[in-house]
Amino acid sequence: MALHIPTLLAVSVFVFFLMGLLTLHAWHRETRERPLAYLGGMMLSATLGMLLVSWRDHGIDIIPIVIGNVILLLGAALNWTAIRVFVGRSPSVPGMLAGAVIWLSLCLIPAFYGDMSARVTAYSLLTVGYGVLTALEFWRGRKHLEVAFMPALALILLHTVFYAVRSVTDQGLKPDHSASGTVSGAQFFAFMLFESMLYVIGIGYMTLAMVKERAELKFRAAALTDPLTGIGNRRAFMLHAAQKLADSKRRGETAAMLLCDLDHFKNLNDTYGHPAGDQALVAFSQVMAQSLRKQDVSGRIGGEEFACLLGACDEQTAVQVAERMRLTFSRLPMPAPGLLSVSIGVVTTRESGYDLSRLLSEADEALYGAKDRGRNRVLTLRQLYLSLTDN
């Protein structure tokens, strides 16, 4: 089937331009995420570069050979920069300019400037270099990226492999073959245009999807995070604690609930001001985090009330953890030594079962039993019931 190269060029230019405008629109109106701005710049650079490269039969070789390819290489650099910024790294201006500078330097060599095969090879290898750098950005950031980036990485690798193949197989399309689809050079050039259109559409869609997924994760995290202390809020605790209890029940393990309430918190606010109260809340959240294991669940579930769910933990161990938290918090020097204290109620699934609401309710009974007995103490539900029986 004969392929009309000018038509394919016109379609590719239209696709690049439209995708560039849509990507910049998404950046401006929705997210203000810089990767989309760089990616939109890449697409518009590809539009201009393709227009200039197609300026082949007008006797001004410097436009398609030098200027057009420089702009296309700057587009490849912007593509790399978009992913580099997405994974959290700063743009590299020297890296962005390196491809264009190398191309300009090579064009100063007459033998290179007049050899189409050499130019195709050099341009393809520079594009491969940017493709490798782009893939490496994903690989470096794979541990902290929480979004699905593998489809984008696969697309980038396929794009890079294509240009690696082109560097050793394509001899270039001569000007007198530009309207023909019968020669091998025209066929490869047509395939390259198709590949470029697919890549631009694919990477645009995938990057926008990753940006939106990360934004949704940030909103979800914000909805589950206490803004003052930075730990989970009540909603997060209830969600994760229910999952933890279900896992403990399935494994037949005992779990322990610790309900903590800062003592005399209103007096602290009234005497030293709300900033001191906020400082105490943050300090206790840090003490709690340091006292718990990574797999334990904790959160601020009320004003000065915190809850912890310890998996694979019996009553004795839970009391030891609670005592460590109480002592550490009481020894903090702010706002004055000996002023801070916390009361903690402890209950385990052994006596209360695996229902979260019941655990919280009975831990609350133990907590207020500790308050009634003078505060700044740890009390288990079992101890509370024994004391009530003795009385």
**Which residues carry out catalysis?**
304
For residues 243-273, one letter each, b for 16 or more C-beta atoms within 10 angstroms of the residue's C-beta and e for the rest, the string is: ebbeebeeeeebbbbbbbbbbebeebbeebe
Nearest to 166 by CA among 158, 177, 178: 158
Nearest to 44 by CA among 198, 183, 191, 204: 204
Give the relative orientation of helices 5-26 and 34-53 as an angle to the nearest 10 degrees: 160
State whether residue 339 is helix, strand or coil. coil
Q: Residue 347 forms beta bridges with which residues?
A: 257
45 is written with which tokens? 């650079």
Name, in order, each residue with C-beta under 8 angstroms of 285's C-beta and a sequence gap of 6 or more. Answer: 226, 229, 230, 231, 300, 306
Task: Kindly tell me the burial class for residue 150, based on how many C-beta atoms sit within 10 Å of its own C-beta (0-12, 13-18, 19 or more).
Answer: exposed
Q: Count CB neighbours of 303 within 10 A.
A: 11
Asked if residues 344 and 259 have their Cβ atoms less than 8 Å apart, the reply is: yes
Pairing of strands 378-380, 342-348: parallel
